[in-house]
Structure 1
Amino acid sequence: MPTPRTSPRADEGRCPFRDAASHAPDTAPNGCPVSPQAASFDPFESDYQLDPAEALRWSRDQEPVFYSPRLGYWVVSRYADVKAIFRDNRTFSPSIALEKITPTTQAAQDTLQRYGYAMNRTLVNEDEPAHMERRRALMKSFELEELAHHEPMVRRLTREYLDRLVDKGEADLVDEMLWEIPLTVALHFLGVPEEDMDTLREYSIAHTVNTWGRPSPDEQVAVAEAVGKFWQYAGQVLEKMRQDPAGHGWMKYAIRRQQELPEVVTDSYLHSMMMAGIVAAHETTAHATANMLRLLLENRAVWEDLCANPSLIPNAVEECLRLSGSVAAWRRIATTDTQVGDVAIPQGAKLLIVSASANHDGRHFENPDELDIYRDNTTDHLTFGYGSHQCMGKNLARLEMRIFLEEFTRRLPHMTLVPDQTFTFVPNTSFRGPEHLWVRWDPARNPERRDNSLREQGRDFPLGAPSRRDAEREAVVTRVIHETPDVIRLVLEDPRGRPLPRWTPGAHIDLVVGDITRKYSLCGDPDDEQRLEIAIRREEPGRGGSRLIHDTVKPQTRVRLRGPRNHFRLDETADGYLLIAGGIGITPIIAMADRLKRLGKRYAIHYAGRSRGSMPLLERLKRDHGDRLCLYPADEGRRLDLPAVVGGRGEARVYACGPARLLDALAALTRDDADAIHVEHFSASHAILDPRREQAFEVELSDSELTVPVAADQTVLQALRAVGVDVPSDCEEGLCGTCEVAVMAGEVDHRDKVLSADERAASRRMMTCCSRAKRGKLVLGL
């Protein structure tokens, strides 16, 4: 793999690409030469159209932010950078999100003008403060209670369309079902009268090609003709709804809100949202469902898991949205000179932020290119966007996709893809789904022929994001190894002999035994796909989880797992490493040592414990890393001299795991060089909130301008979820840092194990799963 390269910071006068790419004829707007791969990038060519994430693998690995001369845009491919841009909609304005990516010919402009086409700002491309003002005014129809009204209609439509197909034995699901139902649902959601639905169906695809595609000059006129008719007819339908705005329907609700807020919900805004809403609610869901069914049918074992266990469907939908979503990219424009990662971005620069690539970033997702329906951080995907412009209709899309998948797996579990078919896509930068999806099955094997009641059955899934418990994977304990008198090592395998997910050093799993869930670092071989290994110390004064595991888990015991996930990732680019462990903290450290040895890196291990007999994995450490190992058994009078060890590390990176007193001492020693130290806590002082000792308070969300009350027995995370604000979370014990949010104002009572002393004192960040307000109100950057 080529050495990762970075572009210059704004205040640097030298470009690191200059030597490597001095032959390149193109220069980016920041003065940096364009690399050959960046110069050849074209999102309208087949590799990007077929698989945007794979087409940008080179970028994620080598050049995560690059300038594309062919497109005239900066392209952003890594998860952290894409999410940061979504988060900051003031520096990175969405105003160009609906701008035509291919310049419009004069003939096409004349055609649009003839129809009075005046598509303007919508919730997708509007700047602040107008965006949030309108979003708040119109968001009620997207609340879970309101969306529940649509569930019976989605179920009825799905069954009716399946009834037409179920005895045919072969069908193009896109033409015969998947294109029609989401459009009908979208029109019902908007409140469009039944008699106008067929006409609006004819026009919807033209808008996508017009905005995100690359039609030829001749094609542009035809597309403009369809878009103009779409615009004109949408206005006529809107006027019809004005005559009777009562009842369900987002546009009818918006018309009623216009009467209350005429300066916020204007006539032109309603017309633009009428047209944009049809496209947004229709095409993205239709494409996403086609992508999902193709992906699952190509992975037969996963499909069969869903047929056998429908409770996995919500998480499977989310994983398909991550791995092959219908929204590949969005566009932004820089409102000031800024940076993305280490790359200087000038004011006025246009950016293509490729969420499809970000969703395959191994820095955030373990095994990012694999379909893993048990993945429990899959809802971190960016297919719905993030921040204040996150898709308002995400939960309607989830509802439809879950019902589609549940009906297909129940009524046609033996359905397969027609082999050797070629998948084609409407060429555009941002939205993708196959134009056709041919499947076949044997009608004689339809389960409902044996039991007709199957047609009427169905599972009602809770609206919103899937529960973390939906992602639990069953495993069997095949070995219990006593490492020390109070530490056991468990070997876990899949009960059916299937491969388990690969993992990277520093990763952990959540082990679920009965009603308890505990986090344990992996300490086996990351290349062994048949088994996972964890070590567990019996903690007598703890919360009882480790005691239960020690007392009840035996060979052949069935348990459940979540993960793996990695919040303690090893940076493999350094020259030297100092690995420090105390007691059971050796578990992630030994995996790092194994990896560094394979890479031929320079490293040293410093391992402290009460006695040699109490130190787990000691024999394997001596066998595999004896020449790099320094032991500190306290009963032999050997103490780990942290100041000496850390002071003599030179430029080595420090990775440490162990008791809080060890990590606190290490943090104090490295306060002036915090970037060089990486630690993982394996315990937290977690307790159920006692409302007699806690105070209720409020959090104000600066981006959405909502004020959310937090009860005395409620975490900030729980309060945010209750009002539909998606905040990623993992351990929910203040250990992992996943639920971190920015604090704009207020005093935080920090209760996490993530932030350093300096970070706590600054109070610019907090973990919503455990930390609270010291007094008064907190203002959060959400």
Structure 2
Amino acid sequence: MTNTSSGTLTDVARTAVEGRCPVDHSAFTSPTGCPISPAAAAFDPFTGPYQVDPAASLRWSRDEEPVFYSPELGYWVVTRYEDVKAVFRDNLLFSPSIALEKITPTSDEANSVLAQYDYGMARTLVNEDEPAHMPRRRALMEPFTPAELVHHEEMVRRLTREYVDRFIDSGRADLVDEMLWEVPLTVALHFLGVPEEDMDTLREYSIAHTVNTWGRPAPDQQVAVAEAVGKFWQFAGTVLDKLRKDPSGHGWMPFGIRVQKEQPDVVTDSYLHSMMMAGIVAAHETTANASANALRLLLEHRDVWEEICADPSLIPNAVEECLRHSGSVAAWRRLVTDDTTIGGVDIPKGAKLLIVNSSANHDERHFDQADDFDIRRDNASDHLTFGYGSHQCMGKNLARMEIQIFLEELTRRLPHMRLVPDQEFTYLPNTSFRGPEHVWVHWDPTLNPERVYPAVLSERQAVKIGEPSKNTIARTMQVDALDRIADDIVLVTLRDASDRPLPKWSAGSHVDIDCGDVSRQYSLCGHPDDRTTLQIAVLHDPESRGGSRWIHTSVSVGDSVRMRGPRNHFKLDLDADRYVFVAGGIGITPVIAMADRVKAAGRDYEIHYAGRSRDSMAFLDRLARDHGGHVRLYPSDEDTRMDLTTMFTTPVEGSQIYSCGPERLLTALADATAHWPDDTLHVEHFSSTLEQLDPSEEHAFAVELKDSGITVPVAADQTVLQALRAANIDAQSDCEEGICGACEVPVLDGEVDHRDLVLTKSERAVGKTMMTCCSRACGDKLTLQL
């Protein structure tokens, strides 16, 4: 372990010179005999900085001592992203069996109270080991899938609207007391299928379970907490008995009762009782706290709040960034089943771990500028707030739906809402779940939008059920200039509508532009160092599917357009000795940016550019000015054509070939360079070549998800991506045509039938990755790291 000292550097130096270690080894040692640093000895998750901001309070640990022993808790504490994720990934070495264990042992008197109520909380999906866990998880998963969650959207919207209606004209509200506590609890009870007449009673008891399990109630409080927990347990059983009489209704509990009839050994009576109680807490408090954290965070960052008010499409990724930055689940616990090493620290069998996922979510090693609040962060959904692997939260997408709807309703109806200044945010002391007990806001009711524009009440933003794709993070751009640079080609210059700096990009990158009802990809051709504008060149293609026609006929200077990206799946390798660029028509767009970069790097290169005529070929002036003798033009009307076979007769060592253009050019170039070394040729495609899956031509197979511990069947007429979504597995995607690379996942085993237009020949041969939207298994099974 790393030793740290609370003394000054001078103190440390002095003690070192005197031959004494600056850490008092006699004070504390861990169970392995390793000395405990003063910072580790002082760690107390029940008071002080950890309760205010767990991630900030453990910055010292992430930087200096990422795995340490806490004598206050008797736990080893894990704080870095990769270490926390590794613990989540391996549910055999790191058993979840202590996840619901009382972190503060209760008194005999409190235990006696629980016994009076026949309290018998058994293992649930949260703290159950294999081999029992996964069969139950699979059996009970269906109500949590996106297809099933769609049915709850209207109920969540109705409840949210009703609660906002109660305070919309008051000008002041505690969002927690008046909305964020009650709505998630009511949603949880509806989701479970609890009868309306029993909801109020269950509401009274739910918080006691959290305090009993993760809190530190004083001895004189433990009896009262135990009394509430016992009543909660007893009444949950009463409600369950009522549901057993007629399990035909909607809800997770009726579903579980129906499954029990088919699989009585998997879903037992005691298991249903425990699930009933744990499900209310899991579905309620985590979402209530996450919602309160999100509203506080957004209102503290006023510019971001106003941005999502103006552009509700940003809400799904804003939710994801809120969950990362200030999630409601601060930490989980695990039991080590064998001697092991975490982050270079030896951990003995039987050790207890506090894995602080809130700290992991602020690890600079995984998240750039991790403490910043950035709703356009492209890896926000990598957060570990929902856990990871086979024990990842089943209700994650219900929580996402609720928070999205809360934000949509409040940004639309109360965009002028602000935090009441100088309020103190307090938290219920516990190690694992956090959210402010109160969030006071105020506003001027006379400015409520619905008073002057009643139609605002009927507006609605589409809810994203599931993990938002990093490639759907949009920004509003303004058209700064439209310059005709060739026949039927316009150069479009875009700038951020709010004058924020634009993302960095590299040669070969493209952006996605919403062109009316369709989205199209366009390569960037400006200067990567320019953070104020982006440029795309668009051909008015007579065969257009709507994108280029829309830009040429419907867009004017000053208009706003929606843009996603930049992204790069046509990356330039700058380690080559020589470059050959081959462009056809509008394919010159990414090529010219690549040529600019190679020239700046001082490398040898040549550009071959074909088109119908000089008048139809873009950037001729710029090519002549910047690349001169490196350029060879092939206008068809001048009887000059590329002889690819001759050009590439002899392979040249150290060369790389990059090409973009019509499919006939790319196909001919692939044939002409077939005898060149693998991965010499790199191409970018304009359009997909995928066809509809024909089940008579395809075969079914299975994908084993190594980290999630499940095997998902893929039907002959189904893509891997569709199968993953049906199994409630978070899966990134965008174009779903095999040309954008958004759905790429690691392959651990099995032969892939690659059908994308993204991977290189050698990447396909190695077979370590695949695109789930189109590629399939050659055999009966693939193993993916998901």
TM-score (norm 1): 0.76
Quickly say closer, same or farther: Cα 1:776–1:311, change in 2 above 3 A.
same
DSSP 3-state at the match of 1:326: coil
Q: Which amino acid aligns with 2:386?
A: F
The answer on 1:240 being equivalent to 2:227 is no
Quickly say closer, same or farther: Cα 1:243–1:336, change in 2 above 3 A.
same
Shift of 1:273: 0.7
In the other structure, the counterpart of 2:639 is: none
CA distance in 2, matches of 1:593, 1:219: 73
- Counterpart among 742, 747, 753 of residue 749 in structure 1: 753
Whether the 8 Å CA contact 1:610–1:633 is kept in 2: the answer is yes
CA distance in 1, matches of 2:524, 2:405: 36
CA distance in 2, matches of 1:369, 1:520: 32
DSSP 3-state at the match of 1:328: coil
In the other structure, the counterpart of 2:779 is: 775
1:252-401 to structure 2, matched below 5 A, reads 252-401=254-403
In the other structure, the counterpart of 1:531 is: 532
Whether the 8 Å CA contact 2:495–2:534 is kept in 1: the answer is no
How many residues are aligned here?
Answer: 716
Quickly say closer, same or farther: Cα 1:591–1:610, change in 2 above 3 A.
closer
CA distance in 2, matches of 1:351, 1:259: 37
DSSP 3-state at the match of 1:385: coil
Q: Which moved more, 1:362-371 or 1:403-412?
A: 362-371
Give me the identity figure in percent. 56
The answer on 1:54 being equivalent to 2:78 is no
Quickly say closer, same or farther: Cα 1:715–1:241, change in 2 above 3 A.
closer
In the other structure, the counterpart of 1:699 is: 702
Shift of 1:758: 8.2
> Where does the alignment leave 5 or more consecutive residues of structure 2 unmatched?
5-15, 582-589, 610-618, 633-647, 661-669
Quickly say closer, same or farther: Cα 1:563–1:319, change in 2 above 3 A.
farther
List per-residue Cα deviations over 1:427-462 (Å, max 9, x = no partner).
Answer: 222211110011111222223333555446544535
1:621-632 to structure 2, matched below 5 A, reads none
Shift of 1:413: 2.3
In the other structure, the counterpart of 2:217 is: 215
Whether the 8 Å CA contact 2:467–2:731 is kept in 1: the answer is no
CA distance in 2, matches of 1:95, 1:591: 55
Shift of 1:567: 9.8
In the other structure, the counterpart of 1:510 is: 511
Shift of 1:133: 0.9
Shift of 1:282: 0.8
Shift of 1:384: 2.1
Whether the 8 Å CA contact 1:700–1:708 is kept in 2: the answer is yes
CA distance in 2, matches of 1:506, 1:142: 42
Quickly say closer, same or farther: Cα 1:50–1:237, change in 2 above 3 A.
same
Whether the 8 Å CA contact 2:508–2:591 is kept in 1: the answer is no
Quickly say closer, same or farther: Cα 1:140–1:472, change in 2 above 3 A.
same
DSSP 3-state at the match of 2:154: helix
List per-residue Cα deviations over 1:471-519 (Å, max 9, x = no partner).
Answer: 31122354799999xx99987531232x236659899663426345448
> Where does the alignment leave 5 or more consecutive residues of structure 1 unmatched?
8-18, 570-576, 595-603, 623-631, 647-655, 670-678
Whether the 8 Å CA contact 2:330–2:431 is kept in 1: the answer is yes
Shift of 1:187: 1.5
In the other structure, the counterpart of 1:15 is: none
RMSD: 5.1
1:730-749 to structure 2, matched below 5 A, reads 739-741=743-745, 743=747, 745-749=749-753
CA distance in 2, matches of 1:38, 1:756: 48
DSSP 3-state at the match of 2:751: strand
1:616-655 to structure 2, matched below 5 A, reads none
CA distance in 2, matches of 1:544, 1:62: 55
CA distance in 2, matches of 1:387, 1:420: 41
Quickly say closer, same or farther: Cα 1:213–1:736, change in 2 above 3 A.
farther
- Counterpart among 706, 725, 732 of residue 728 in structure 1: 732
- Counterpart among 137, 140, 153 of residue 138 in structure 1: 140
Quickly say closer, same or farther: Cα 1:189–1:610, change in 2 above 3 A.
closer
Quickly say closer, same or farther: Cα 1:556–1:175, change in 2 above 3 A.
closer
CA distance in 2, matches of 1:342, 1:505: 36
Shift of 1:134: 1.0
The answer on 1:153 being equivalent to 2:158 is no
Shift of 1:738: 6.3
CA distance in 2, matches of 1:45, 1:681: 57
Shift of 1:279: 0.4
Quickly say closer, same or farther: Cα 1:481–1:380, change in 2 above 3 A.
farther
In the other structure, the counterpart of 1:675 is: none
- Counterpart among 720, 723, 726 of residue 716 in structure 1: 720
Whether the 8 Å CA contact 1:334–1:350 is kept in 2: the answer is yes
Q: Which moved more, 1:207-216 or 1:377-386?
A: 377-386
In the other structure, the counterpart of 1:129 is: 131
Shift of 1:180: 1.3
TM-score (norm 2): 0.75
Q: Which amino acid aligns with 2:416?
A: H
Whether the 8 Å CA contact 1:522–1:532 is kept in 2: the answer is no
Q: Which amino acid aligns with 2:86?
A: A
CA distance in 2, matches of 1:593, 1:42: 57
List per-residue Cα deviations over 1:533-581 (Å, max 9, x = no partner).
Answer: 578899x9x9999999999999767543324679999xxxxxxx97989
Whether the 8 Å CA contact 2:3–2:37 is kept in 1: the answer is no
- Counterpart among 86, 89, 92 of residue 91 in structure 2: 89
CA distance in 2, matches of 1:589, 1:78: 41
Shift of 1:701: 3.0
DSSP 3-state at the match of 2:46: coil
Whether the 8 Å CA contact 1:585–1:682 is kept in 2: the answer is no
Q: Which amino acid aligns with 1:500?
A: P
Q: Which amino acid aligns with 2:713?
A: V
Q: Which amino acid aligns with 1:326?
A: S
Whether the 8 Å CA contact 1:523–1:591 is kept in 2: the answer is no
Quickly say closer, same or farther: Cα 1:185–1:608, change in 2 above 3 A.
same
CA distance in 2, matches of 1:85, 1:284: 21
The answer on 1:111 being equivalent to 2:113 is yes
The answer on 1:436 being equivalent to 2:438 is yes
CA distance in 1, matches of 2:338, 2:526: 47
CA distance in 2, matches of 1:424, 1:455: 33
Whether the 8 Å CA contact 1:154–1:403 is kept in 2: the answer is yes
Q: Which moved more, 1:393-402 or 1:418-427?
A: 393-402
Whether the 8 Å CA contact 2:679–2:762 is kept in 1: the answer is no
Shift of 1:277: 0.7
Whether the 8 Å CA contact 1:522–1:591 is kept in 2: the answer is no
Shift of 1:276: 0.5
Whether the 8 Å CA contact 1:93–1:335 is kept in 2: the answer is yes
Quickly say closer, same or farther: Cα 1:546–1:84, change in 2 above 3 A.
farther
Q: Which amino acid aligns with 1:347?
A: K
